[in-house]
Amino acid sequence: MIGREAGGPGRRASPPCYHRRIMTGITLEGVSKRFGSTAAAAGVSLGIDSGELFFLLGPSGCGKTTLLRILAGFVEADAGRIAFEGQDVTHLAPEKRRTGMVFQNYALWPHMTVFDNVAFGLKVRRVSGKERQERVMAALRAARMQEYARRMPNQLSGGQQQRVALARALVVEPRVLLLDEPLSNLDARLRSQMRGEIRRLCRESGITTVYVTHDQAEALSMADRVAVMREGRIVQVGRPRDVYQRPENRFVADFLGETNFISAEVKGAEEGHLILHAPMGDVLARGLREDTPRSGNLTCSIRPEAWRFDAAGRDPARNAWTGRLVESIYQGESSRHRIELAGDVVIHALEINPRERRPGEAVRVSVDPADVVVLAD
């Protein structure tokens, strides 16, 4: 717990209220917004739990930033309803919604010190000098920037500037924290470090947080839940593990990482398995959804890391095939292989702690039926 200074050295007061668990949830009901002929939000309905770190993930132009700005009140929805903890804020002015916003370009005042940047929102709210001092320093400690309070923004690294922007958003004790691609201007090493810092701050503060990004790694490594967006609509919501391992459609499977799409025809079902006929032979799939087709043609998705390499000559087994190694790229702890199976099916497979393999040799691969994902479209 992080406390505020009160009086002289050695005295501790109760922590600022932005550090408590604040029970705030977000509800969107049929939220729509059009810009000309483009639907930036097309009837979005969504519930975000109290204290949740929730990600809006999707490609450029999918509507995720527009939706974030609608939550902030910077953009007015054409239709629909928005509520924070049951309070309708649909037509409430931005300054009355009690949201904290962190932009991708930090938006720090260049002529103000770190302390004054963080204190600015409290000064506008007429928070008294002593309380303002305590709350600013508490926010800087939470962001691990207390030692830089008297520096100017141009004396800080990109990661340090982003910490200041986070402290400035937290210090006003928002009900909801909104993050608009906050790490996009940082290099890869700093992005990795800041992911952990942002998750730590959100967990410690307990503030309901909505984070917009197009970076799959950020969403998968940080989020409690993810909403994948496409053309103004939410196409899947779930935990990072669920949306990655059990994508509901081809778009989600493809957007969240490399995968192998294999066309197949349903032959039948047995004991909770779907039996598919694919060009390289029969495929078993397990873990089916209610909307999984039980007949006709469909597409299944198998991630490269789901393939297992078996010694040639083993007894035939279900979901096991022998193919020819076309290409192998050694990466140290792993190798990426391109393998041609029967029926001109070429798959991409990832082998951990790989043995040495040469193009042209025969390889035997298998996959667990639970890792064969039958897609809805």
241 & 158 share domain: yes
- Lowest mean pLDDT segment, chosen from 17-26, 48-57, 98-107, 283-292: 17-26
Q: Is the pLDDT of residue 199 over 80?
A: yes
Q: Is the pLDDT of residue 299 over 90?
A: yes
pLDDT, residue 317, reads 60
224 & 315 share domain: no
236 & 262 share domain: no
64 & 133 share domain: yes
Q: Is the pLDDT of residue 289 over 80?
A: no
pLDDT, residue 324, reads 96
pLDDT, residue 13, reads 38
Q: Binning pLDDT at 50, 70 and 90, where does residue 311 land?
A: low
∠ at Cα 339 (332, 294), nearest 5°?
A: 120
Q: Which CATH number fits the domain that encloses residue 291?
A: 2.40.50.100
Inside any domain, residue 10:
no
Inside any domain, residue 305:
yes
* Total domains, the chain: 2
Q: What is the pTM of this model?
A: 0.84
Could you tell me what percent of the chain has a pLDDT over 70?
92
Residue scoring higher pLDDT (312 or 292): 292
